[in-house]
Structure 1
Amino acid sequence: MIALHDLLSVSDEVLTLAAPVCRDGGDVLDRAAFRARVAAWIAHMQSVGAQRCALCIDDPFDFACALFALFACGKEPVIPANATPGYLADLADAYDAMLSDADLPPFAWHASTKASAAANAAITPTHEQHAAYPIDPQAPLTLYTSGSSGSPKPIRKTLAQFNAEVHTLERQWGALIGDATMLASVPHHHIYGLLFRVLWPLAAGRAFDRALSIEPLQLQSRIAQCGASVVVSTPAQLSRWPALPGFASLTPAPRAFFSSGGPLALDTAQQYAAAYGAAPLEIYGSTETGGIAWRRQDETDAWEPVTGIEIRRDEDGALSVRSPHLDHPGWHRTDDQIACDEQGRFRLQGRLDRVLKLDGKRVSLPELEARLALHPYVAQAALVPLAGASRERVGALVALTDAGSAALRDEGRVLLARTLRRHLAGYVDVVVLPRRWRFRLSLPFDARGKLPASAVAAAFTARAEGMEVLAEARTGAEASGGDKLHYELRVPPTLVHFAGHFPGLPILPGVVQVDWAVRLAADHVPAVRAVASIDRLKFMAPVSPGAVLRLTLAHDAARRRVQFAYRLDGRECASGVIVYREPT
């Protein structure tokens, strides 16, 4: 191991400079190549007057070189969580200049060929290729994550903190990994990828792969060139791989699979244990704390603190950590709730805030709500986690403005949701965007003015009457006076009313359609519950299980009437008039 701040200052020892850094296809870029590339970046940085530079470089080798060039120049690297325009605009005050792949200085390195070496010498003089560049161990680095307040949260760390962590990782798993190449399906813009894919290999003198390996056949191709390997991935990727070709036949088998970004499903862990003799090594931690604990689910579902990490459970169940990876010697309180066991391990019991991990990406629900509220169609928004068949997703419950209601009426729910997804995609990674959408006139605040999470979640299930309300909007009636209510309703295939109506050809009974219209109208005009008669009732087309109906309700208060009309696939399928009694 070498200290990260010594990577550019150790003297030109053959063994040191020959240590592998990066595998680029069939080639190996060693520390000599790394230092030459850093020198090229330093020359480039000298023309950049900015002190704080945002690193938006997708290539991991060039990212690492640019990162250490910034350290060597005494500049502060800023690593945004993503490079979407809206997100970078929010961070505009956090950096003075941005470095992207388009800014890469020219460079070519193949130490085995004299021509390439000559080309390198022309770009970066030989005396600079191996020049010593001292780096301050306390050099600052800022990463961004989603804070519970809803805005990107800066996490300022020092190189010394990262150095402490990579030495911890080496003590914990260095013997297991040996000389294996680090293959990865994760980017390096977040702390997990930065540590495991780039910094740890750099300090340990083992290679990381330049390419991403996002499915088993790609892994096998890279293993064929690299030989011994370790895979750095996420629960979302690892859960997909067992069903893909080549999963159980990776040869030679990776020495370990690492997973972080959320809990790995037990059945997935068992599939890896069956195929490779051990479940993935799951890493639990955060950008603020670094790594805290680990587990292998073929051994236990409890988390064991990493060597040198102390944990405790606070009175409200919150996990607190004392770690050499922090910037202070005291306890750091997290927003995770835990239960401890007698062996000093712990189990997670949920969050105290509203920050989730989705497909390895950290997402703040308040942030998404605030972003949605910026759109002219949105009056208010509430987001809630929804447990799916295989992974957790987010549902968005949106109260619409008049403009949003008009868009829902004219374009429909699907196009409206697509518009709002595109709006959010300008700020956050697409994998954390809401997958399910519900539109309402208002959010379900209770009598105390609170918005219970249970009430928001209930919007994504069928009502007690059976129908599932996908969307609700109000628009002004043109000439009839009063307002019109517009609904999109899903007819659940499991609806009890289909039983016996009719055998072999289930059809939604007309009386149920009338009942739904009455109940929805009564939500806004309670007097409608006192039904006097149903007039001008017509049924023009059958409604099958799973159908999505569009319902319009037009209230005529002066005549105590509500006209309703159902449409299915653009055609009217039922209509009538609800006449209600005067209040007594």
Structure 2
Amino acid sequence: MLAETVREAARRFGDAAAFVDPDGTRLSFAALDAGSEAVAAGLAARGLGAGDRLVLRLASTSRYVLAYAAAAKLGAVTAGVNPVLAPPEQVRLAELADPRLVLTEPGEVDELAAFGAARREPGRAPRPLPADDGRPVAIVFTSGTTGAPKAAVFTERQLRAVTRIDTGGVWAEQPGEPTLASTQFAHVGFMTKLPWYLRRGLRMFIQGRWRARDTLALLAEHRMSTVNAVAPQLALLLRVPDFDDFDLGAVKLIVAGAAASPPTLIEEARRRLDARYSVRYSSTESGGCGLGTDPDADDDEALFTIGRPRPGIACEIRDEEGRPAAVDEVGELWLRTPSAFAGYWRDPAATAATLVDGWIRTGDLGRHDERGLVRLAGRRKEMFIRGGYNVYPAEVEAALGTHPAVAQCAVVPRPDPVMGEVGVAVVVVRDGAPAPALADLRDHLSSRLAHHKLPEDLRLVTDLPLTAVHKLDRAALSRRILDSP
């Protein structure tokens, strides 16, 4: 599916730019097709064949895309390793895939292309692989925020399903719509979605390292209509001192995924960008497809929920026994989607625990209301118990985020000799707002949450620690809180 899409995009869009590297180098759709053929020949000469794993420990540039497309043309499986991770972490993930080849330097892709081009017979294109929906194409490593990372496998069938969910399978009539690469290419948001990016004829601008001010400059310069980001990135964009000096009038839609969006962030982003806002919820295992709020939703849906399942996707909240939970009852969120991963690489036990009768057990807790909207309550492993009562950090954070002085927040537990555990509110104060006291926050929350859910300690910080994919790093935050007086 990926290989045929690369070829068809080249035929349709030709020399139009598909990717623009941080240094300004452009890779056209035609060059992606021809270049990946050459890289494929180079990889084949080094012994990579159908079913073999190619690990890419490469920065997110056009060379990564060339190698990924080349492997797909050979029927090999690409596993991307985020280069932001520490070297020992990268090595562990690479070993998990049991690779035939590992590429660690961008120059290696150039060498493969040159070698492959020299060996190819002029005018003779390689024979395309026969169609096989069950053929593995990509391995995407989970973030490991609640345990050891696992390797989720996606086949041609899942990539086709992702494309159908996100685009309806329709090709763009012409190329050129500019967009930003908002995630590392090793992330599920690129590995499973590259085919539909190509179908849309997108011109994707790649940032070497995400910086808020550089992002605003690109949005303004190229008159981009959509901002794709995670909530922490959006919060940083709004904190750029000269934000209002950028001409962002072309922006019409904000799509925020991967992390919950605090209500005050949604309100501020909508107002200052004069754009609609859609919260998206998904997981690595779902192929990056799941639920979303309507961009034109009322405030209750837009500010406090993750919306409803997208077309073709089912969602249920289930209790501890796996039975559907009642309205407003907290339970685990289960997803059923044609884009669901095929399984974890060589880990049938973990696969069976997560993929049950075609349903993905996400490990996230939530509840649905009478309108069918889903409200997150946090991760199952993040829940803590105060005095015998369950407390879900995400629920407290959603309410805490409505305080006018709170720009970003998190709630983590700390041990307590009486209650067992109590909540600590960690707050980044909104620019220009007075720093709130714990009593102020508790008073604000008292009409929204039960008494046992109110935080009993407060830490004011300048920023929250993030993982390599810009999610809140709760483990690092908990260590920071427990290690500080």
TM range (shorter): 0.5 to 0.7
Structure 2 Cα separation of the partners of residues 33 and 321 of structure 1: 38
Structure whose CA Rg is larger: 1
Decide which of 295, 303, 308 is 1:304's aligned counterpart. 308
Change in CA separation of 1:343 and 1:171 when aligned onto 2, cut-off 3 Å: farther
In 1, distance between residues paired with 2:88 and 2:474? Answer: 15
Distance in 2 between residues matched to 1:268 and 1:315, nearest whole Å: 31
Q: Distance in 2 between matches of 1:343 and 1:8?
A: 41
Structure with greater contact order relative to length (CA < 8 Å, sep ≥ 6): 2
Matched, 1:88 2:90: yes
Q: Which residue in 1 is equivalent to 2:79?
A: 78
Is residue 341 from structure 1 mapped to residue 369 from structure 2 by the alignment?
yes
Tell me the matched-pair count. Answer: 372
What does 1:545-564 correspond to in 2, within 5 Å?
A: none
Equivalences for residues 96-111 of structure 1 within 5 A: 96=99, 97-106=101-110
The alignment yields a C-alpha RMSD, in angstroms, of 4.3
Deviation at 1:205, TM superposition (A): 1.9
Q: 1:184, 1:231 within 8 Å by CA — same for their partners in 2?
A: no
TM-score w.r.t. length of structure 2 = 0.64
The answer to whether 1:206 aligns with 2:202 is yes
1:434 equivalent in alignment to 2:476: yes
1:47 corresponds in structure 2 to 45
How far off is 1:230 after superposition?
A: 2.7
CA contact (8 A) 1:234 1:261 kept: yes
Check 1:52–1:308 CA distance in 2 against 1; reply closer, same or farther (3 A cut). Answer: same
Residues 305 and 437 of structure 1: CA distance in aligned 2, closer, same or farther (over 3 Å): closer
2:120 is aligned with 1:127? no
Aligned counterpart, 1:390: 428
Task: Give the C-alpha shift of residue 11 in structure 1.
Answer: 9.7
Give the structure 2 partner of residue 485 of structure 1: none
Structure 2 match to 1:324: 338
Query: Which of 133, 138, 143 is residue 134 of structure 2 equivalent to?
Result: 138
Aligned partner of 2:255 in structure 1 is 258
The within-5 A match list for 1:473-512 is none
Partner of 2:291: 293
Q: 2 CA distance for matches of 1:187 and 1:98?
A: 18
Q: Which residue of 2 aligns with 1:576?
A: none
Distance 1:258 1:174 in 2: 21
| 1:539-550 correspondence to structure 2 within 5 Å | none
Whichever residue aligns with residue 123 of structure 2, its letter is H
**Percent of paired sites with the same residue:** 21
Q: Distance in 1 between matches of 2:148 and 2:232?
A: 25
Q: Alpha-carbon deviation of 1:429?
A: 11
**Contact 1:180-1:227 at 8 Å conserved across structures:** no
**Gapped regions of structure 2 (runs ≥ 5):** 321-330, 343-354, 384-392, 398-411, 413-420, 430-466
Give the whole-Å Cα distance in 2 for the aligned partners of 1:188 and 1:11: 19
Q: How does 1:153-552 map to 2 (within 5 A)?
A: 153-171=150-168, 180-195=177-192, 198-212=194-208, 214-223=210-219, 226-248=222-244, 249-290=246-287, 291-295=289-293, 296=295, 299=299, 300=301, 301-302=304-305, 303-316=307-320, 317-326=331-340, 327=342, 330-354=358-382, 387-390=425-428, 434-435=476-477, 437=479, 460=482
* Cα deviations by residue, 1:330-365 (Å, 9 ceiling, x for unpaired): 32222122211232221112222349999xxxxxx9
Q: CA 1:27–1:150 in structure 2 vs 1: closer, same or farther (change >3 Å)? A: closer
Q: For 2:37, give the aligned amino acid.
A: A
Contact 1:26–1:225 (CA<8 Å) still a contact in 2?
no
Aligned 8 A contact 1:241 1:247 in 2:
yes
What's 1:30 paired with?
A: 28
CA positional deviation for 1:189: 1.5
**DSSP 3-state at the match of 1:151:** coil
How many angstroms apart in 2 are the aligned matches of 1:258 and 1:340? 22
Q: Does the 8 A contact of 1:54 with 1:98 survive in 2? A: yes
> What SS is found at the alignment partner of 1:390?
strand
2: CA distance, partners of 1:318 / 1:127: 56
* Structure 1: stretches of 5+ with no match in the other structure: 110-117, 359-364, 366-382, 392-424, 439-456, 461-469, 472-489, 491-584
CA distance in 2, matches of 1:344, 1:46: 51
> What is the match of residue 564 of structure 1?
none
